């Protein structure tokens, strides 16, 4: 990793790696910042209300005098946390079902494909609202909702991949030699699917975070006491018409940047793991 030449230009893969490291560093910074920022900065401070962005309050303050920068960073940390759990759960379901569909015979395949169709045929957001409604919202509701709604597309990809590997010669040979299904799945198929899984996981992340913010925004997600981005934005709506644009602008922008970072990492991992170098 340290053998990167100092001279420009770097080649494609090195660029990709550099971008990944940079994005990861930034994310780490946000998380660390969120964990260590002083809680005291978001206590109500009525003497310093509604002030526009300045050096002391980078993103301005809200109508209770809370520092928006601190709130935003904390919200982002929360979002990343929820995103991590949601994406991990989703990707695991996708991995398991994708593998199962492709290795456990025709009937299982049909059943799982049917399930995928089932989840894809209702708009994500409606499913999320429904699940959040059932579980009464809150942290648990939203994480379960996110986990249950984001796996289908990745499951499809993994299933197709496994199908392809399954018909490869070495797998056929292995089967003829009397290896069991599980042995083949573990030793021949899983190693090939892992990169797909990783990339899929990273690319699920942005979706999960955005949906989390969206559901929270409409009021069915995290509770209003948490400093989540969705909460900040939905609160800011009341104050928009009085011209307090910074309440909405900066938190959203930060969310956008974070989501872009994850997207970047995912894309670049894909660049690194895929062998065909003809994509731009």
Q: Which is nearer to other proteins, 69 or 217 (CB)?
A: 217
Instruction: Tell me the residue length of the chain.
Output: 280
Alpha-carbon distance 14 to 256, whole Å?
25
**Which one, 67 or 212, has the nearer CB to other proteins?**
212
- Kindly tell me which of 70 and 234 has the beta carbon lying closer to other proteins: 234
Rounded distance, CA 103 to CA 167, Å? Answer: 11
CA distances to 7, 161, 193, 200, 203 from 278, in Å: 24, 20, 22, 21, 21
Exposed, middle or buried by CB within 10 Å (0-12, 13-18, 19+), for 23?
A: buried
28 or 218: CB nearest other proteins: 218
- Minimum separation from the CB atom of position 127 to other proteins (A): 8
b/e map of 34-51 (b: 16 or more CB within 10 Å)? beebeeebbeeeeeeebb
Taking the complex as a whole, the smallest distance from the CB of residue 151 to other proteins amounts, in Å, to: 15
Instruction: Please report how close the Cβ of residue 130 comes to other proteins at its closest, in angstroms.
Output: 6
Binding site for other proteins (CB under 8 A): 114, 117-118, 120-126, 129-136, 206, 210, 213-214, 217-220, 233, 236-237, 240-241, 243, 245, 248-249, 252, 255-256, 259-260, 263
Nearer to other proteins, 189 or 247 (CB): 247
Nearest 5°: the CA angle 256, 259, 263 is 130
CB 94 within 8 A of CB 115: no
The nearest distance, CB 163 to other proteins, in angstroms, is: 22
What number of H helices and E strands is found in the chain? Answer: 11, 0
Comparison of 99 and 261: residue with beta carbon closer to other proteins: 261
Residue 246 CA to chain centroid, in angstroms? Answer: 26
CB of 206 to other proteins, least distance (A): 5
How far is the C-alpha of 214 from the C-alpha of 273, rounded, in Å?
32
Compute the least distance from the CB of residue 120 to other proteins, in Å: 7
Q: Considering beta carbons, is residue 114 or 182 the nearer one to other proteins?
A: 114
* Closest approach of other proteins to the CB of residue 213, in Å: 5
């Amino acid at each position: 990793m340290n053998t990167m030449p100092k001279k420009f230009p770097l080649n494609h893969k090195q660029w990709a790696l550099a971008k990944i490291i940079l994005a990861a560093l930034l994310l780490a910074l946000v998380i660390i910042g969120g964990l260590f920022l002083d809680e005291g900065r978001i206590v109500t401070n009525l003497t310093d209300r509604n002030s526009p962005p300045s050096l002391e309050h980078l993103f301005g303050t809200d109508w209770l005098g809370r520092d928006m920068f601190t709130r935003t960073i904390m919200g982002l940390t929360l979002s990343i946390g929820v995103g991590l759990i949601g994406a991990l759960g989703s990707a695991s379901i996708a991995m398991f079902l994708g593998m199962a569909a492709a290795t456990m015979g025709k009937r299982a395949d049909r059943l799982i494909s049917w399930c995928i169709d089932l989840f894809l045929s209702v708009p994500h957001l409606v499913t999320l609202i429904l699940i959040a409604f059932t579980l009464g919202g809150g942290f648990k509701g939203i994480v379960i909702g996110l986990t249950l709604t984001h796996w289908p597309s990745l499951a499809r990809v993994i299933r197709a991949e496994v199908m392809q590997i399954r018909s490869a010669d070495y797998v056929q040979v292995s089967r003829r030699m009397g290896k069991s299904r599980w042995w083949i799945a573990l030793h021949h198929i899983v190693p090939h699917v892992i990169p797909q899984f990783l990339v899929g996981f990273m690319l699920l992340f942005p979706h999960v975070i955005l949906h989390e913010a969206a559901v929270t925004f409409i009021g069915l997600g995290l509770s209003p006491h948490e400093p989540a981005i969705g909460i900040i934005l939905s609160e800011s709506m009341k104050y928009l018409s009085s011209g307090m644009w910074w309440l909405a602008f900066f938190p959203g922008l930060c969310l956008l940047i974070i989501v872009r970072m994850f997207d970047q990492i995912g894309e670049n991992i894909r660049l690194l793991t895929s062998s065909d170098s003809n994509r731009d």
